[in-house]
Amino acid sequence: MGQFDVNIKWGKEKFNDITVNTDEAPEIFKAQLFALTNVPPERQKIMIKGGVLKDSWDNFQGKLKNGAMIMLMGSADPLPEKPKELPRFMEDMADAEMNQDCSHVGPYCCIYDVKGEFFRVAKIPVGIENLGNTCYLNSVIQCLRVIPELKTALQEYSQSDAFVKQLKDLWNSLDNSPEAAKPIAFLLVLHANFPIFAERGPQGGLKQQDANEAWLSICRYLHQLPGAGNKDLMEELFGVQYRSETKCIEEGGETEAKVETDKQLSISCFIDTDVKYLLTGLKKNLVEKIEKKSEKLDRQAQYEKNSTIERLPHYLAVNFIRFYYKTGTQNSAKILKDVKFQTEFDAWDLCGPNLQEKLKPNREKLKLLTDKELDLLSRKKKNGVRKIEPPKYTQFEKTHFDEDHGSNNHGWYTLKAVLTHKGRSIDGGHYIAWTKQEDGRWIKFDDDKATVVTEEEVLALSGGGDWHTAYICIFETKKLPVFTPDLENDQMENMETS
């Protein structure tokens, strides 16, 4: 039927020029009405002269046109009450109040500088409501929100696409609403495009889903967003390119290795009894024993596949392989082993020799920068400075290769987000997102609840028990500052007057 601008009448309320797109499922239109009226889709009765909207647009066939009047019946959920205590800011507080904790400012927290002297009140971002086993989706969305390039691309995307539109609307709601967002419309378009996430259990409720599968599904769908030079944005930002050599390791087999290249949106951390650290698990995943038909031996034979990374992206998504299928009980089980990760990560050992050679110049710049910082720190200590501030950089080098926008040109990363799972099975449990904000704070998003946490709490998510365990880590390319003579002189001058 197409797309129409209609008018909606709901009791005494009237909404004009509301777009109806019959190429989308009626659930999307119901979600639009929910956003307008707060009437949940299950309580909506939508009518046009001569027809009532059901699970398809059949009853509206031939009745929709621009300017048509649509009647909505149904009671709305109550609007949230105004908070009893509004946030209070520094200008309105007495000195004694500033020394108290931050519980009096509601969804806000206190921020101090490194000297503990400057005070301000910062807003805590809002969470996302759980619509019934949708914590996996809420966590993925919160982790994706740490990528400003993706937010910009969503805002600038002009093509008609329900999935992109609803994701953009959800993000706008998270940015502008003082309360947790309800992802009803986005959940509906997700189900329409990926029916596996719409599966329901015996009691009729939505099943718990795998957050990593949701992460990859959403990222692959967003391939249509253009990056630099109209390239694929997600491949530009997350694309890891591998080079692999597969060779028969049995006597008499083929001696020449088969060379292949592959692109993926994440890398995997293999976990066994020997893996205690992230890098160890990543390196183990690059070596694989496989069995396949040998033309030379004319039978199944053992092969070894060795891979190296030939392209590092700006954002590195790491999936911890914590779930495996138990054939005996025919269900999934979880590896609870403690695998340490840090706030800084060096991918050098995962790269092939060609990429390592390209990384060397900027790695040398980072080394010189670190040496200068250590020298400055030593000189400050010799001068008896007690409170030492790190240098405040204002100039930065580019961190991508000229011919490859969105790449990493030195191999170092900093931790940006962690998605965790609590439970023993991929079919159950609970997912939470922990993300680092632009001001340096770490926020824990437990569905609609958002709280400030410490970096130590985030690093404690490495596993070893039934508490939340890292399942996906998102690393961002480390900034490459420019250490100028003026900066060094300023630092030394501050040091002498401290």
Tokens of 307: 């891979």
Q: In which element (H, E) is residue 142 found? A: helix 135-144
What is the DSSP code (8-state) at residue 382?
Answer: H
Q: Which residues of 309-327 are buried (b: 16+ CB within 10 A; e: fewer)?
A: bbbbbbbbbbbbbbbeeee
Residue given tokens 């250590």 in the structure block = 374
- Catalytic pick among 135, 143, 219, 269: 135
Mark whether 135 is an active-site residue. yes
C-alpha neighbours within 13 Å on the C-beta side of residue 19: 9
Orientation angle between helical segments 148-156 and 162-176, nearest 10 degrees: 120
- d(CA 192, CA 55) in angstroms, rounded, equals 13
Phi-psi region of 440 (alpha: psi -120 to 50; beta: other; left: phi over 0): left
Mark whether 430 is an active-site residue. yes
Report the DSSP pairing between strands 258-264 and 315-320: unpaired
Query: How many beta carbons lie within 10 A of that of residue 336, not counting itself?
Result: 14
The dihedral through the CA atoms of 32, 33, 38, 44 has a sign that is negative
Residue given tokens 């718990």 in the structure block = 208
- Catalytic pick among 110, 410, 430, 473: 430
φ/ψ of 289, rounded to 5, equals: -95, 125
Report the catalytic residues. 135, 430
